[in-house]
């Protein structure tokens, strides 16, 4: 048995503008993604690798709401990659989940990207970066970003990724109310105008530091009307001293900037005192590059 462990980071959307819609109904985005140091720990074990053979995947995760069958995105990533190489195996994927599902933080997509990257490396499959990105996009719109990490301007339906210098180490507060929001539902409900030519993503991609005027999310028009608790979290973060706050992705997580005059811990503590049912994380933006590895050298048993 071959085993390796990696960390799968969450992401936040510092800005998300809906700029159009394709003929097939998919919305086109212009967004700034940032990987943060809130991570899942993913342990991947491989045995009985041979060709030709079907891949049997066993997902183990105790977090409520995370599928442990073949619908899990990490399991689908493993099957897709081995099918690409004409191989099959017995794979066990253990996920110690810290990133809640359906929170707009991309946890499932990050798990899938980690599986693609890890299996390609430890099994020496030599699948090209270009092909990995193509497979990642077939799995989900956010998956390709996690092969890049750091900060990036992401456009289209997730296929156009422009790494940007970003702000590695920038402190953020992420508040996660106990609400699950369906991404598909949020986009189906979007009926606003399209922000074609939106300046905010372009400005941040050019290096302008995030500030209140740039932190916009068009999906708030849909989500906050149905989930006023998220709007309450936004207000609470600002009242606690945050300089700006915006919903991440389709929610329910809210990301906030910390002013230079305050520490992240001070903002988090002030917010938590009046919002005891909301999970609060003090996080930082990760530098560009692949997600950090806990155990880059695979072990054999």
Between 226 and 293, the more confident residue is 226
Q: What is the pLDDT of residue 292?
A: 52
Lowest mean pLDDT among 55-64, 138-147, 186-195, 202-211: 186-195
What is the pTM assigned to this prediction?
Answer: 0.94
Domains in the chain with CATH codes: 2-164 (3.30.230.10), 171-284 (3.30.70.890)
Rounded CA separation 290/282 (Å): 22
Q: What are the pLDDT digits (tens) for 59-106?
A: 999 999 899 999 999 999 999 999 999 999 999 999 999 999 999 999
Q: Which of 40, 142, 218, 234 is catalytic?
A: 142
Integer CA distances (angstroms), 46 to 54, 67, 245, in order: 13, 20, 42
Residue pLDDT, tens place only, 16-55: 999 999 999 899 999 999 999 999 999 999 999 998 889 9
Exposure string for 51-73, b = 16+ CB within 10 A, e = fewer: eeeebbbebebeeeebebeeebb
Q: What is the pLDDT of residue 154?
A: 98
**Mean pLDDT value of segment 219-242:** 98
142 is catalytic: yes
Q: Is 11 a catalytic residue?
A: yes
Cβ burial, residue 292 (10 Å; 0-12/13-18/19+): middle
pLDDT tens digits, one per residue of 251-275: 999 999 999 999 999 999 999 999 9
pLDDT digits (tens, 9 = 90+) for 121-148: 999 999 999 999 999 999 999 999 999 9
């Amino acid at each position: 048995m071959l085993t390796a462990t990696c960390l799968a980071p969450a992401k936040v959307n510092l800005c998300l503008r809906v700029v159009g819609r394709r003929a097939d109904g998919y919305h086109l985005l212009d967004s700034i993604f940032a990987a943060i140091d809130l991570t899942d720990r993913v342990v991947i074990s491989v045995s009985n690798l041979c060709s030709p053979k079907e891949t049997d995947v066993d997902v183990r995760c105790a977090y409520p709401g995370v599928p442990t069958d073949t619908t899990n995105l990490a399991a689908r990533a493993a099957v897709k990659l081995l099918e690409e190489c004409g191989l099959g195996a017995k794979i066990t994927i253990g996920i110690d989940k810290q990133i809640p599902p359906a929170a707009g933080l991309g946890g499932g997509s990050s798990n899938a990207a980690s599986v693609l990257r890890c299996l390609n490396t430890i099994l020496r499959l030599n699948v090209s970066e270009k092909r990995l990105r193509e497979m990642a996009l077939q799995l989900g719109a956010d998956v390709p970003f996690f092969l890049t990490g750091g900060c990036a301007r992401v456009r289209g339906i997730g296929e156009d990724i422009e790494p940007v210098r970003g702000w590695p180490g920038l402190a953020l507060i992420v508040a996660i109310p106990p609400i699950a929001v369906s991404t598909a539902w949020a986009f189906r409900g979007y009926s606003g105008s399209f922000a074609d030519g939106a300046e905010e993503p372009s400005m941040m991609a050019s290096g302008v530091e995030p500030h209140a005027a740039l932190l916009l999310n068009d999906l708030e028009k849909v989500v906050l009307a149905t989930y006023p608790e998220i709007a309450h979290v936004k207000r609470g973060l600002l009242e606690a001293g945050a300089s700006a706050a915006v919903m991440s992705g389709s929610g329910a997580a809210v990301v906030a900037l910390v002013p230079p005059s305050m520490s992240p811990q001070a903002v988090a503590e002030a917010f938590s005192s009046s919002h005891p049912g909301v999970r609060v994380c003090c996080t930082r933006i990760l530098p560009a590059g692949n997600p950090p590895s806990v155990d880059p050298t695979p072990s054999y048993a």
